[in-house]
Amino acid sequence: MSTNVVVTGLGATTPLGGDVASTWKAALAGESGARTLDNDWAEKYGIGVNFAAQIKVKPEEVLARPEMKKMDPSAQYAIIATREAWADAGSPDVDPTRLGAVVSSGIGGIWTTLDGWDTLRERGGRRVLPMTVPMLMPNSPAAYVELEIGAQAGAHALVSACASGAEAIGYAVDMIRLGRADVVVAGGTEACLHPMPLAAFAASRTLSQRNDNPAGASRPYDQDRDGFVMAEGAGIVVLESEEHAKARGAKIYAQVSGVGLSSDAYHLTSPEPTGRGQIAAMTMSLKNAGVDLSDVHHVNAHATSTTVGDLIEARAVRTLFGDNADQIKLSATKSLTGHLLGGAGALETIFTVLAVHDRVAPPTINVDNPDPELTLDLVRDTPRELPRGDIAALNNSFGFGGHNVALVVRNA
Amino acid sequence: MAYTEQEVLAGLAEIVAEETGLAVETVTADKSFVDDLDIDSLSIMTIVTHAEDKFEVTIPDEAAKDFNTVGDAVNFIVGAQG
């Protein structure tokens, strides 16, 4: 019998709020986190997109200045979310050799990288700060979380672009199941709202160009969707073996009971059109969780609001679930938060956990005219109730590189 | 324009405070960076980088390595000014 893994703590800093409670409340209210950028990048650098979903509460409002200066923003967000999640879990007294950390970023410490390069070019090598490397390295957020909680059972940073946050949580579940740890703090973070990545994503034509209406730009499954909205933030969960959680009388939100992974082996950036890899990941996660197709009542879709990607996933869900898909309430929460890239899979796991815990599927906004090819029950504009009793939900996350991750969440 | 010893100490204390979160007034000339102020080697190098910038001097690694107290750094910087 494999170990049950439960969620005992949640933490986040997002475009909707500085913590989980405010983020979830804003999500259920159907608020958008996207705004016109509070800077002159678009004009100054000639970037075609002048909006994004910036985090609502700036790190300087939460962190002490000396600690902030030693962290890339991606690590700052991860630490803010970790402190909330750890406190939410009751700051448990865990044997440090049984405590792990898995925190991913899709892009890494790009502010630090580019600031260091600017300093080097403008002021020379002696002005490049000694902390530059430990701040820019992609495992830096994982290392800071490891230090924060004193985790000695391993600290890891799995990188799979926009699937990174979900893959981190999947790996953490596996660590507990394999007996390497009893408690693992896991999630994803992203802080790449810098003009260079903004220009680069804009150049790849994957971003929405709806400059006149940022809040209406992320519109998964709407006929007029034209790309995703860049966002930043972090989501962190405390995962724990059910035995460990129960022994200490912890509050349990839900179980993460299935992990499914696959890779498309098709194209660097385009998802495989038949959804073969996505179906494989979802199938594996359900089998891994020991749940039937008929147990699943909610899917938090990857759905980034791109023309091609949204429908491939929707078709994959329909193909896999068949008639059982009729009972699934589909939510595309990137319509609210924008796309947190490496943070997305973690934040959306938090949403899925809360959906199962609170029995409510969060809304998808901006779907004025649903794509006629969508045959699933999309939760639009207002939250919808999920059934009582034992239910399962699925969180899908896919990334450039053909990475597919599906996580199954069940009620506790 | 050369900085006086007083000005260098005050400026260095500000850099140390900014880097470590210590109160400026605790950064006095007699304090050891490592033993009294508990500053690690990477932070000392960061402080040296900022000090070079602020006082427009070059502090070679061999010199920085020998800084035990804040006063050692102040003396070096005062002496290194043009």
Burial B18-45 (b: 16+ CB within 10 A, else e): bbbebeeeebebebebeebbebeeebbb
Mean pLDDT of A14-21: 98
Q: Are A148 and A274 contained in the same domain?
A: no
| A4-13, A24-33, A132-141, B39-48: least confident range | B39-48
Determine which one of B40, B53, B61, B72 is catalytic: B40
Q: Are A58 and A128 contained in the same domain?
A: yes
Q: What is the DSSP string of A53-90?
A: B--SS-GGGTS-HHHHHTS-HHHHHHHHHHHHHHHHTT
Q: What is the pLDDT of residues A311-368, one digit of tens each?
A: 999 999 999 999 999 999 999 999 999 999 999 999 999 999 999 999 999 999 999 9
Which amino acid makes up residue A254? A
Task: Specify if A253 maps to a domain.
Answer: no
In chain B, what are the domain boundaries?
5-80
What tokens does A271 get?
């998802």
Which chain A residues have a beta carbon less than 8 Å from that of B19? 66, 69
Which chain A residues have a beta carbon less than 8 Å from that of B58? 126
Kindly state the greatest CA–CA separation across chain B.
33
pLDDT over 80 at B1, yes or no? no
Residue of B nearest to A131 (CA): B42
Q: How far is A133 from chain B (nearest CA, A)?
A: 11
Q: Are A227 and A268 contained in the same domain?
A: no
Separation between Cα atoms, residue A2 and residue A176, nearest integer Å: 10
Determine which one of A156, A194, A302, A403 is catalytic: A302
Separation between Cα atoms, residue A80 and residue A345, nearest integer Å: 17
Task: Specify if A340 maps to a domain.
Answer: yes
Q: What is the DSSP string of A32-60?
A: ---EE-SSSHHHHHT-S--EEB--SS-GG
> In which residue are the tokens 């600290």 written?
A155
Q: Enumerate residues 6+ apart whose C-beta is below 8 A from A327.
A: A294, A296, A297, A377
Separation between Cα atoms, residue A259 and residue A281, nearest integer Å: 8
- Cβ separation B49–A126 shorter than 8 A: yes
Q: Give the domain-ending residue among A209, A227, A247.
A: A247
Q: What is the pLDDT of residue A252?
A: 98
Q: Are A146 and A208 contained in the same domain?
A: yes
- Cβ separation B21–A64 shorter than 8 A: yes
Task: Specify if A331 maps to a domain.
Answer: yes
Q: Residue A67: phi, psi to the nearest 5?
A: -75, -35
Task: Specify if A252 maps to a domain.
Answer: no
Mean pLDDT of A20-35: 98
Share of chain B above pLDDT 90, in %: 94
Q: CATH number, domain at A221?
A: 3.40.47.10
Residue of B nearest to A70 (CA): B19
B5-80 has which fold?
1.10.1200
Q: What is the pLDDT of residue A32?
A: 98
Separation between Cα atoms, residue A261 and residue A285, nearest integer Å: 8
Q: What is the pLDDT of residue A49?
A: 97
Residue of A nearest to B15 (CA): A66
Q: What is the pLDDT of residue B38?
A: 95
> In which residue are the tokens 């002696």 written?
A126
Q: Are A64 and A42 contained in the same domain?
A: yes
Q: Give the domain-ending residue among A247, A267, A299.
A: A247
Task: Specify if A164 maps to a domain.
Answer: yes
- Cβ separation A126–B20 shorter than 8 A: no
The predicted complex's ipTM stands at 0.87
Q: Give the domain-ending residue among A199, A222, A247.
A: A247
Question: Is A302 among the catalytic positions?
Answer: yes
Q: Which residues of A touch B (CB under 8 A)?
A: 64-67, 69, 126-131, 134
- Cβ separation B46–A126 shorter than 8 A: no
Question: Is A162 among the catalytic positions?
Answer: yes
pLDDT over 80 at A220, yes or no? yes
Q: What is the pLDDT of residue A2?
A: 73
Confidence grade of residue A258 (pLDDT, cut at 50, 70, 90): very high
- Cβ separation A69–B19 shorter than 8 A: yes
Mean pLDDT of B24-45: 95
- Cβ separation B21–A130 shorter than 8 A: no
Q: Are A208 and A96 contained in the same domain?
A: yes
pLDDT over 90 at A255, yes or no? yes
What tokens does B21 get?
């979160």
Nearest to B52 among A64, A126, A134 (CB): A126
What tokens does B25 get?
């007034």
- Give the orientation angle of helix A195-203 with respect to helix A110-123, to 10 degrees: 110
A340-to-A23, A91, A175, A290, A348 alpha-carbon distances in Å: 13, 27, 25, 30, 10
Q: Are A42 and A180 contained in the same domain?
A: yes
Q: What is the pLDDT of residue A18?
A: 98
Q: What is the pLDDT of residues A74-130, one digit of tens each?
A: 999 999 999 999 999 999 999 999 999 999 999 999 999 999 999 999 999 999 999
**Total structural domains in chain A?**
2
Q: Are A234 and A321 contained in the same domain?
A: no
Q: What is the pLDDT of residue A246?
A: 97
Instruction: Name the pairing type of β-strands A296-300 and A329-331.
Output: parallel
Burial A44-67 (b: 16+ CB within 10 A, else e): eeebebbbbbbbbeebeebbeeee
Domain that holds residue A25: 5-247
Task: Specify if A316 maps to a domain.
Answer: yes
Task: Specify if A114 maps to a domain.
Answer: yes
- Cβ separation B18–A131 shorter than 8 A: no
